[in-house]
Structure 1
C-alpha cells in the first residue's frame, strides 16, 4: 500500500474556511494519510500569488483553490501545468451545475464569510440567545427558541447549542436533574425539543474529569451520585423515559462529534416543522421518537 507524504496547497482569496472544510472531509476517507497542509489565504493580488507560486516551486503538491480573479487563476493554473502539478478549482463544478439549473450565471465575487448581512446578524443574535439561555437559564425566553435540548448533566448540550448558534439557530438547553421537576415551559413547547443521551461509562469519565478541573477530583466512586455507576445509569434511564413519554426524539452522542449531533438536531427540527406544515423542505421519513443510534451503528 502506497502511503507517501504529500504537500497539499489550499489557495483562497478569502479566509480559506471552505477549502479547509472540503479538504478535511475528503481526507477523512483515507487511512492515516501523510499530508502536509500549506494554507494560503487572502490571495488577492499578484504579489500574494507570487508567494504561493514560490511555495509551489519549493514544495510541489496538488492544489485546491477558490480564486475569483481570472488573471490570478490563469497564473496559478499555468504554473501548476509547468510543474506538472494537479490543480482544481473546487467550486467550479457546483457553480456550473447551479448555473445550468437556475438559468443565470453566478456573480463573480469573493467568498463573503464576513459580510455583515442578515445572516451574519442572525448568527450573532443566536449566539447571544445561547449565552442567555444556557443550562436552564431564562426559561421564559424559551418562547423565542428554535429548538430546546434536554439531557443529563455533561451530555454535550452546551457545546452543541453554541455550534447551532453559529448556524443561526437559537438553541436553549435545559438540564434533566434527578428529583427536579421539568419546567412548565416544556409542557407545551413552541419549538422542537430534542433529548441528548450518552453511554453511562463515557458520562462517568467526563464527569470525573470535570470534578478534577473544578478541584474535587479526590471524590471516590460511591461518594457521590454524580459519578456513581448505578446512580448514573438510573439517571440516564429516567431521562430517556421522560423523553419517550413526551414524544421527544433522543440522540445518542456517545461517539458522535458535535457537528454530527447538530446535523441530526437540524433534521429533527425539519421534521417537527414539516409535521406542522410550516414548510416543505425534505426531511427524513422516520420521526425518530426513539433513541437515534451512534453513527457507527449503521455500518
Structure 2
C-alpha cells in the first residue's frame, strides 16, 4: 500500500485510444497509487517525438507506445534505455502471435483501426439513429432498430444506447411510464427488446440528483412521485412485470458499468438471433425436389 506518485507516458502515432484502454484496465487493479498519465498522441515525425523525449526526460516514468515507424520506435527505445526508463510496446506480442498463426507479415499501417470504411459509416449512422430515437422519440422508426431498450426513467437507457451506437448498433430506447401506452411496434417487435432494471434506492438517489440539477421546476422534491419511495417501487414493479409478460429479458444495471451492460446486451442479441434462425430452420417448408431426390437415394 503506497501513495507514491508515478509518471506513465502513453506514446501513440494515432489517437492513443488503445493505450488509454490498456492503462485504464490494468491500473484499475492497483489501489492507492497515484499515476499521472502523460498522453502523447499523433506522434508521426521526429520533431514531434523530440518533444515527447523531452517530456520523458523531465518527468521520468514507464513508457507504453504504439508507433509503426521503425525509426521513431528505435529513437524512443534508445532514449528510454539511456534514461533507465522501462519502455514497452504492448501490441508487439499479439502481433507476433498473429503473424505466426496467419503466416503473414503485418503491414506498417498507421491508425489502421480508424479508417473511414463501411464500418466507420455504420457507426456514424447508428449514432444518428440513437439521437433520433432517444427517450421514446421517433417510435415509427423502431422497425429499423437493431435493439430496443425499455425501462423506467433514469435507468441508464440513453448512455447505453450511445455506447452501443459506437459499436455500430442502432439502439432505440422507450421509457416505461405509468399509464402511458407502449409504441405499437413493440406489439410484434422486429428486433430484441431488453429491459433495464435498477434498485429502488439507487434510482431515487439518481432522480433526486437530477431534480437538484434542473431545479425541479419549483416542485418540492419530497412531494413528487418521481422520487416518492412507494411510487418509485410501484413503477419498478410494473416495469418488471411488463417485461416478464412480454418475455423480454431484463438486466439489473444497479451495479453495472455501461460497458458491462452493453456486453450483456450484445450477448442477448446474439441469443435472440440464434433462436430466430433455429426457428426458421425448423419451420422452413420442405423442398419437394429434395424429397424426390432423397426417395431415390
TM-score (norm 2): 0.89
**Counterpart in the other structure of 1:209:** 209
Does residue 106 of structure 2 align to residue 144 of structure 1?
no
More helix, by proportion: 2
Assess if the C-alpha contact under 8 Å between 1:194 and 1:250 holds in 2: yes
* Alignment deviations for residues 58-80 of structure 1 (CA, whole Å, 9 cap, x no partner): 11111100000001101111111
Where in structure 2 are the equivalents of 1:223-238 lying within 5 Å?
Answer: 223-238=223-238
What SS class does the counterpart of residue 248 from structure 1 fall into? coil
What SS class does the counterpart of residue 235 from structure 2 fall into? helix
Where in structure 2 are the equivalents of 1:3-152 lying within 5 Å?
Answer: 3-112=3-112, 114-152=114-152
Assess if the C-alpha contact under 8 Å between 2:9 and 2:63 holds in 1: yes
Write the distance in 1 (CA, Å) between the matches of 2:228 and 2:221: 6
Deviation at 1:2, TM superposition (A): 4.4
Deviation at 1:191, TM superposition (A): 0.9
What SS class does the counterpart of residue 37 from structure 1 fall into? strand
Deviation at 1:123, TM superposition (A): 0.8
**Counterpart in the other structure of 1:291:** none
What SS class does the counterpart of residue 68 from structure 1 fall into? coil
Deviation at 1:265, TM superposition (A): 1.1
**Counterpart in the other structure of 2:286:** none
Assess if the C-alpha contact under 8 Å between 2:10 and 2:19 holds in 1: yes
What SS class does the counterpart of residue 104 from structure 2 fall into? coil
**Counterpart in the other structure of 2:260:** 260
**Counterpart in the other structure of 1:288:** none
Please list every run of 5 or more consecutive structure 1 residues that lacks an aligned counterpart in the other structure.
279-299
Deviation at 1:218, TM superposition (A): 5.1
Assess if the C-alpha contact under 8 Å between 1:133 and 1:172 holds in 2: yes
**Counterpart in the other structure of 2:274:** 274
Write the distance in 1 (CA, Å) between the matches of 2:152 and 2:46: 55
Deviation at 1:223, TM superposition (A): 2.4
Please list every run of 5 or more consecutive structure 2 residues that lacks an aligned counterpart in the other structure.
279-297
Assess if the C-alpha contact under 8 Å between 1:209 and 1:217 holds in 2: no
What SS class does the counterpart of residue 195 from structure 2 fall into? strand
Distance change (3 Å), C-alpha of 1:226 and 1:2: closer
Write the distance in 1 (CA, Å) between the matches of 2:10 and 2:136: 42
Give 1 or 2 for the bigger CA radius of gyration: 2
Aligned-residue CA RMSD in angstroms?
A: 1.6
* Alignment deviations for residues 87-142 of structure 1 (CA, whole Å, 9 cap, x no partner): 11111111112222222222211114542211111111001111111111111211
Write the distance in 2 (CA, Å) between the matches of 1:103 and 1:207: 55
Write the distance in 2 (CA, Å) between the matches of 1:250 and 1:150: 9
